[in-house]
Structure 1
Amino acid sequence: MQLAEVVTKLNRLAPLRLAAAWDNVGLLLEPSSPQPPIQRMLLTNDFTSAVWKEAESKNVNLIYCYHPVIFAPLKRLTCATEKQGLLVRAVEKRVAIYCPHTAMDAVEDGVNDWLVGGLGDGMTMALETLNGNPREGYGRKMLLNEPVATLDEMIARVKSHLGLKHVQVARCSKTDPIRIVAVCAGSGGKVLESAKADVLVTGEMSHHEILAAVERGSHVITCGHSNTERGFLHTLKPRLEALFEKAIEVEVSEVDADPLVTE
C-alpha cells in the first residue's frame, strides 16, 4: 500500500482537526519519491533508540508513534543529539513516521475512551467537548452504572487495566462510594482541573494541581505519563489491520516502555 493512501486512512481514523492547537501531528517524516510501499508498521508510544533498533530489525516502513517525534522547531538536523540522530537514521532508511497524539486523545473510541473504559461501565462524555459533540474532545468523565464501594477497589481496577503493580494515590476526606470518575491520558492537570468527579485518573499532575483536586473533594490516582497511553496500542493493532485489510503487517513495539519505574 502506498504511503499517501495509508496517511489518508490514518487521518480519517483520528482527524487532525481534533488535535490541540499547540500540538504537532500527522505525517512528520516522509521519504522522498519514489517512495517504498508500506508493508510493515510498528506501533510505539515514544521514539527511542531501542524502538529504532527494533524497527530496523523488523524492516519496518512506517513507525506509528503516539508522541510527536518533532515538536519544538528544529534549526538543524545533525547527529549531535540522540533525538536528531534517530531522525537522520530514519531518513536514511526511508522510514516514514506518523504521530497522532492529541487527535487520537480527542476522537471517539480513542485513547481516553480506552482509558476510562477499563474502569467500569456507564455513560461517558468528554470533559472538554469539541464541535458540540459530547463524545469528542479532551479527557473523559463516566457516570458509573454501578457505584464502586471504595477507593481501594477503584485503585485495583486501574492497576489491572494498565498492567501496573504500583500507582500513586492522593486521598481526599470523602469515604462515599465512587459514582463519577474522570480521566485524562498523559499529563491531565489542566483538563481535569474543573472536573467534578469522585476520582481523577491520569498519568501525571503537578504537586499543586493534586493539592487543589484533593481540596475540591476528588481522590487522585497518577500512573506515570505514558502508562495511561501505551496499552491503547494493543487495541489499535486489530483496528489498523482491519483498516488496511491486512495489506500491512502491524506490530506493537516490544521494547517501548515508560522511562520511570518504581524500585
Structure 2
Amino acid sequence: MSVVQKTPINILQQAWKRIAPLELADNSWDNAPYPKNDAKKVLLTIDLTTDVCNEALDLEGCSLVVAYHPPNHHQTKNRSLKLSNTLQASLLKLSAKGISVFSPHTSLDSIEGGINSWLTTAFGSNLKSSTPLEPKFSSGSSVPAHLAGFEGAGMGRFVELHEGVEAAEAVRRIKGLLKLERVQYGAPAQESIIKTVAICAGSGGSMFKDVKADLYWTGEMGHHQALATTQAGSHVVLCHHTNTERGYLSAVLKDKLREELNAQEGQDGWEVVVSGKDRDPLLIV
C-alpha cells in the first residue's frame, strides 16, 4: 500500500481551514490561491508593496507571501498582468521565483479571533459583549458541519462595555493597542460617556450605516459620514486604513499560523515572519 506524501499545498490548506475557512470570505475581495513549492518560510504583510516584494525575494527559503489585502485586486482579476504596473510587477517577480501570494482578507476579518475581534481587546476586562455587525449566519440557521466552531463569524463588531468610559479613555486604549501616537478624533457638540462601540478594521463607513453606537472606530471614513456621525451625537476615531490591521499580524496571526502548520502530522520546521517593510502609505505629520 503506497503512502501519499503531503505537499505544502495540502499543509497550508489544512492549516487555513482551522484558522479562517475561505467559505467565510467575501470572494468579491479576496484572491487566495495556494502555494506551489516546497520551502517552509512564510512572510506576512498587509500590502504587497515593492519594498515587501524585495524583502520576500531576499528572504532565504521564502515560498509564500500572505498579503492580507489582495494586491491590486480590481485590476488583476480576469486580466493580464503587466510589468508597467508596479503592484502587478511585484506579483510577476514573485511568481518567477516560485513564491506564491495568498490573500485571505475577509475570512480573517470575519472570524472570532480575527482582526475585528482583536480590535475589541483594546477594552480588556471592561468588554461585556462583542457581536458581528453583519453576521455570516442568521440566527437559528444551521451551520455546515465543516464550519463548526465558526458560528459567531461575521463582519465588523458591535461592543458593549460593562462600565462606560470617557471618550479620552477610549482613545487612549485604542492608541495603546495599535501603538499609535496620534489618531483622528471627531467629537459631538457635547461629549458623552462611551458605552457602545462599533468597530470595523480598514474602511468601515458602509458597515456603520444602520448601526447606532456611542463611538465608531475604523481606519477611514468619508468626510460627510464623519460629519453626520458627530452631528448626531456620536464620537469617531479614525486610525488610517492599515493601522487598524497591521498589529494583528504580530499579535495573533504569526504564532497561530506557525502552530497550525507545524501541528500537522509529519510536519515541522515551518517559519512565519512578519514583514519589516510593510507600513501605511500615509503619515500624520
| Corresponding position: 1:254 with 2:276 | yes
Match of 1:94 in 2: 98
What SS does structure 1 have at the residue aligned with 2:133? strand
Work out the percentage of aligned pairs sharing the same amino acid. 35
What are the equivalent positions in structure 2 for 1:208-223 lying under 5 Å apart?
A: 208-223=224-239
1:111 equivalent among 108, 115, 121: 115
Match of 1:51 in 2: 52
Match of 2:4 in 1: none
Structure 1 unaligned regions, length at least 5: none
Q: Determine the C-alpha separation between the residues in 2 that align with 1:126 and 1:194.
A: 13
List per-residue Cα deviations over 1:205-258 (Å, max 9, x = no partner): 001111222233210000000000000001111111110125310010111000
1:241 equivalent among 245, 258, 266: 258
Tell me if the contact between 2:71 and 2:88 (Cα under 8 Å) persists in the aligned partners. no
2:65 equivalent among 36, 60, 63: 63
TM-score (norm 1): 0.92
Q: Determine the C-alpha separation between the residues in 2 that align with 1:15 and 1:209.
A: 33
Q: Determine the C-alpha separation between the residues in 2 that align with 1:74 and 1:90.
A: 19
Q: Determine the C-alpha separation between the residues in 1 that align with 2:159 and 2:284.
A: 29
Tell me if the contact between 1:46 and 1:65 (Cα under 8 Å) persists in the aligned partners. yes
Tell me if the contact between 2:63 and 2:100 (Cα under 8 Å) persists in the aligned partners. yes
Q: Determine the C-alpha separation between the residues in 1 that align with 2:191 and 2:80.
A: 55
1:24 equivalent among 27, 30, 33: 30
List per-residue Cα deviations over 1:85-107 (Å, max 9, x = no partner): 11111111000111111111011
What SS does structure 2 have at the residue aligned with 1:61? strand
- Structure 1 or 2: more strand by fraction: 1
Tell me if the contact between 2:67 and 2:103 (Cα under 8 Å) persists in the aligned partners. yes
What amino acid maps onto 1:141 in structure 2? F
| Corresponding position: 1:82 with 2:81 | no
Q: Determine the C-alpha separation between the residues in 1 that align with 2:55 and 2:220.
A: 28
TM-score (norm 2): 0.85
Q: Structure 1 174/138 Cα, relative in aligned 2: closer, same or farther at 3 Å?
A: farther
Q: Determine the C-alpha separation between the residues in 2 that align with 1:75 and 1:175.
A: 49
Q: Determine the C-alpha separation between the residues in 1 that align with 2:54 and 2:272.
A: 17
Q: Structure 1 79/174 Cα, relative in aligned 2: closer, same or farther at 3 Å?
A: same
Aligned pair count reads 257
Tell me if the contact between 2:40 and 2:271 (Cα under 8 Å) persists in the aligned partners. yes
Q: Which moved more, 1:158-167 or 1:133-142?
A: 133-142
Q: Determine the C-alpha separation between the residues in 1 that align with 2:47 and 2:110.
A: 19
Q: Structure 1 17/194 Cα, relative in aligned 2: closer, same or farther at 3 Å?
A: same
Which runs of structure 1 show a deviation greater than 4 angstroms over 4 or more consecutive aligned residues? none
2:134 equivalent among 114, 128, 139: 128
Structure 2 unaligned regions, length at least 5: 1-6, 140-150, 263-267
Match of 1:137 in 2: 154
CA-atom RMSD in angstroms: 1.7
What SS does structure 1 have at the residue aligned with 2:52? helix
| Corresponding position: 1:13 with 2:14 | no
Q: Structure 1 45/93 Cα, relative in aligned 2: closer, same or farther at 3 Å?
A: same
What amino acid maps onto 2:203 in structure 1? S
Q: Structure 1 10/132 Cα, relative in aligned 2: closer, same or farther at 3 Å?
A: same
Q: Determine the C-alpha separation between the residues in 1 that align with 2:233 and 2:39.
A: 50
Tell me if the contact between 1:41 and 1:63 (Cα under 8 Å) persists in the aligned partners. yes
Tell me if the contact between 1:127 and 1:139 (Cα under 8 Å) persists in the aligned partners. yes
What SS does structure 2 have at the residue aligned with 1:202? strand
What SS does structure 2 have at the residue aligned with 1:124? strand
What SS does structure 2 have at the residue aligned with 1:43? strand
